[in-house]
Amino acid sequence: MPQIPAVAAVPPTLVHQERWARKTLLGIAFCAPLILIFLLLVIFPMFYEIYLGLDWSIYTSIFSDPIFIQTLWNTVIFVGLAVNIKMFLALTLSSLLSTEHRFTKILGGIFLLPWAIPSLPGILAFRWMLNGQWGIVNKILTDLGFEGYPWLVRRPTALAAAIIYHIWKYLPFWTLIFVAGRRGIPKELYEASDIDGTSPFQKFRYITLPMLRNLYLICILLSMVFTLGDFVIIKIMTGGAPGDSTHVLATLAYRYTFQMGKIDWGVGTFITALPVTLLFIFILIRKIK
Amino acid sequence: MRLRGWRKFAFYSVCSLLLVWTIFPVYYMITLSLVPEEDLFKPRLYVPRPTLENYIQTAQQSNYLVSEFWIQLYNSLIIALLTTAAVVIVGSLGSFALARIRFRGSRLISSMTLFTYIIPSSFLSIPFFKLMADYDLLGTKLSVILAMITFTSPYAVWILWDYGKTVPVEIDEAAAIDGAGTLQTFFRIYLPLILPPMVAIATYAFLYSWNEYLYVVLFLSGETNITIPVAMGNFLATDNPPWNLLMAESVLYSIPPVILYYCFRRHLLSGLVTGSVTGT
């Protein structure tokens, strides 16, 4: 047949290259919407933000604003406490929820509720529950003979309320992630340790913990980055009150930009947190991939 | 599992504590929504005279705070649905390229998807706002939808890609031998295969935009343009918001997501675990 020598006459590398080029074109064509979104709506805004934030005088101004400094601390406290307490509880509760028991099955179902309910209704319910005058929390306290407390009017308790809401809302999700992570641990490991007669604590310390360590680290980092940008909890729970003392990065940037008209201050607020955020993101990308 | 003695006691107390902790705010939200106006400032753990008045007011839009309830609900719905449709398209196309075509630049694309997924959306809010203002898109649903697509499609691509990888490439090769072009492979073979995770990412995109607050506050204004969560946030601007009415609206607004979560939780969670993690 005449076709066969004709094909064989073409050097194989050339065919290869041509196929590569065609495939690359195809791949990029299929990714076109994604690339477009990324370039126009992620990379461009980000560089634009960095460009707006290049002016050094912004940082001398905002770092001399006491509210900004307090906001940095609030963010560190909020992210640090909320995420770490939540993850620790999630890891602990995941052992409870992975036990085979009728009660834990029902509990597992109900436990999803906070995660399923959108943020706004939940935060609003918390806010009214903690109201100093008519909130149910103070009502219960006074019924029990304690004194009521203006929870959202004092900085420490207002921040604590935001942290508690965060834990309430996101604990179920991360617990279920760890439940799934535990299912991935080979049963043989536990069976083998049973033969050696190890205690439950030893099992946790020498089998569960090492097996889940990487997942735990990824979860903590991921949750910290997400929480670093949180806006809605503080905005709705305290609105920054009392006296702008409970802001976090996003709510302060919003206040600077849209209420005070100082867009460069708003940009500067985010840029200040950008190095840490990017560091976390790069560690995460390496770990997840 | 059988438990005895103090372990049984500890087990049941921890479970009960968890149950109360989880349910109490939800219980309070629901009971408060049933409280009549005159009892609002008498906090109680139960409702002595429950009424549907708050729900009726919301549905009939007879209180000025809920005077545009239905159009706001429609806004929420249309933004969520259009986002979902766009994310399904962007996600299936992108994941097909990443999972089935070996090409130069695919690693870069997968890195940038992950990057976009992780970066907090609020960090981009100011330049995003300026961009929308420059293109005269402020006040349009399109501006919010674009933002929502930006922040939800990375996760969609990631999950679909992860799933698409598990399907053997030989199927595509067999189709190619039968004379199927790339587009035919995409529509006839790839799409039907990734249907299960597609349900998960569609739900994810819908819920993400249904719940969004920040970008809607920034881009949309005016009672008839905003979505439900922003309208609820605006309650707080009034001196004495009627919390019982607010809670009735909260319950109505929470019903669709709760139904979706419980219907698709298996899909949502399995997708979440294979694609590492999501959430906050």
Give residue-wise pLDDT tens across range A52-106: 989 899 999 999 999 999 999 999 999 999 999 999 999 999 888 888 778 888 8
Is the same domain home to B39 and B108? no
CATH of the domain at B83: 1.10.3720.10
| pLDDT score, position A124 | 94
Question: A102 to chain B: which residues are within 8 Å by CB?
Answer: none
Say if residue B37's pLDDT is above 70.
yes
Is the same domain home to A118 and A186? yes
Is the same domain home to A106 and A190? yes
Is the same domain home to A13 and A1? yes
Nearest by CB: A37 against B102, B114, B153: B153
Contacts of A149 (CB under 8 A, 6+ apart): A132, A138, A141, A157
Is the same domain home to A253 and A142? yes
Contact state of B121 with A229 under an 8 Å Cβ cutoff:
yes
Encoding tokens for residue A149? 């407390």
Of residues B85 and A131, more confidence is placed in B85
Is the same domain home to A29 and A67? no
| pLDDT score, position A4 | 44
Q: What is the mean pLDDT of chain B?
A: 87
Q: Tell me whether residue A143 is exposed, middle or buried, using C-beta atoms within 10 angstroms of its C-beta: 0 to 12, 13 to 18, 19 or more.
A: exposed
| pLDDT score, position A7 | 45
Is the same domain home to B88 and B12? no
Q: Does A253 touch chain B (CB under 8 A)?
A: yes
Say if residue B3's pLDDT is above 80.
no
Digit-coded pLDDT (tens) for A201-245: 888 888 888 888 888 998 999 999 999 999 999 999 998 888 899
User: How many other C-beta atoms can be found within 10 angstroms of the C-beta atom of residue B93?
Assistant: 20
Question: B112 to chain A: which residues are within 8 Å by CB?
Answer: 38, 42
Q: What is the mean pLDDT of chain A?
A: 88
Asked whether residue B247 is assigned to any structural domain, the reply reads: yes
Contact state of A135 with B45 under an 8 Å Cβ cutoff:
no
Buried b (16+ CB within 10 A) or exposed e, B231-268: bbbebeeeeebbbbbbbbbbbbbbebbbebbeebbebb
Asked whether residue B29 is assigned to any structural domain, the reply reads: yes
Last residue of a domain, one of B26, B45, B60: B60
Is the same domain home to B105 and B9? no
CA distance B56 to chain A (A): 19
For residues A202 and A206, give the distance between their C-alpha atoms in angstroms, rounded to a whole number: 6
Is the same domain home to B97 and B126? yes
Say if residue B61's pLDDT is above 50.
yes
| pLDDT score, position B266 | 72
| pLDDT score, position B254 | 95
Say if residue B277's pLDDT is above 70.
no
Asked whether residue B280 is assigned to any structural domain, the reply reads: no
Interface size, chain A vs chain B, as Cβ–Cβ contacts under 8 Å: 279
Digit-coded pLDDT (tens) for B81-116: 999 999 999 999 999 988 888 788 888 888 888 899
Average of per-residue pLDDT across B119-135: 93
Say if residue B202's pLDDT is above 70.
yes
Is the same domain home to A68 and A43? no
Is the same domain home to A235 and A113? yes
| pLDDT score, position B275 | 45
The confidence band for A190, taking pLDDT boundaries of 50, 70 and 90, is confident
For residues A121 and B253, give the distance between their C-alpha atoms in angstroms, rounded to a whole number: 8
Is the same domain home to B55 and B71? no
Average of per-residue pLDDT across B38-46: 83
Angle between helices A66-97 and A209-228 (to 10 degrees): 150
| pLDDT score, position A103 | 80
Contact state of A41 with B89 under an 8 Å Cβ cutoff:
no
The confidence band for B140, taking pLDDT boundaries of 50, 70 and 90, is very high
Indicate the number of domains in chain A: 2
For residues B192 and B176, give the distance between their C-alpha atoms in angstroms, rounded to a whole number: 17
Is the same domain home to A130 and A222? yes
Is the same domain home to A81 and A175? yes
| pLDDT score, position A259 | 92
Average of per-residue pLDDT across B20-30: 94
| pLDDT score, position A5 | 43
Digit-coded pLDDT (tens) for A248-267: 999 999 999 999 999 999 99
For residues B226 and B82, give the distance between their C-alpha atoms in angstroms, rounded to a whole number: 16
The residue behind tokens 């005070």 is A260
Average of per-residue pLDDT across B129-147: 94
Asked whether residue B279 is assigned to any structural domain, the reply reads: no
- The percent of chain B in helix, strand and coil, each rounded to the nearest 5, is 75, 0, 25
Instruction: Note the ipTM here.
Output: 0.91
Q: Does A134 touch chain B (CB under 8 A)?
A: yes
- E strand map for A94-176: none
Is the same domain home to A144 and A283? yes
Nearest CA in chain B to A131: B43
Last residue of a domain, one of B44, B60, B76: B60
Contact state of B25 with A125 under an 8 Å Cβ cutoff:
yes
Contact state of A113 with B11 under an 8 Å Cβ cutoff:
no
| pLDDT score, position A13 | 62
For residues B81 and B70, give the distance between their C-alpha atoms in angstroms, rounded to a whole number: 16
| pLDDT score, position B271 | 54
For residues A165 and A217, give the distance between their C-alpha atoms in angstroms, rounded to a whole number: 22
Average of per-residue pLDDT across B233-245: 86
The confidence band for B264, taking pLDDT boundaries of 50, 70 and 90, is confident
| pLDDT score, position A177 | 87
Read off the pTM. 0.91
Average of per-residue pLDDT across A10-23: 68
The confidence band for A286, taking pLDDT boundaries of 50, 70 and 90, is confident
| pLDDT score, position B39 | 81
Asked whether residue B39 is assigned to any structural domain, the reply reads: yes
Domain with A165 in it = 56-288
The residue behind tokens 């900004």 is A68
Question: B214 to chain A: which residues are within 8 Å by CB?
Answer: 231-232, 250, 254
Backbone angles phi, psi at B81, to 5 degrees: -70, -45
Average of per-residue pLDDT across B219-248: 90
| pLDDT score, position B257 | 93
Is the same domain home to B116 and B151? yes
Is the same domain home to A122 and A45? no
Is the same domain home to A42 and A70? no
Is the same domain home to B145 and B101? yes
The confidence band for A6, taking pLDDT boundaries of 50, 70 and 90, is very low
Say if residue A1's pLDDT is above 50.
no
Is A98 strand, coil or helix? coil
For residues A204 and B123, give the distance between their C-alpha atoms in angstroms, rounded to a whole number: 38
Say if residue A25's pLDDT is above 60.
yes
Average of per-residue pLDDT across A267-281: 93
Indicate the number of domains in chain B: 2
Say if residue B147's pLDDT is above 90.
yes
Cβ atoms of residues A287 and A66 within 8 Å? no
The confidence band for B280, taking pLDDT boundaries of 50, 70 and 90, is very low
- Chain A segment 67-126 residues within 8 A of B by beta carbon are 93, 96, 99-101, 103-104, 107, 109-122, 124-126
Name the percent of chain B lying above pLDDT 90.
46
Domain with B54 in it = 5-60
| pLDDT score, position A11 | 54
Average of per-residue pLDDT across A26-35: 88
Is the same domain home to B96 and B230? yes
| pLDDT score, position A3 | 44
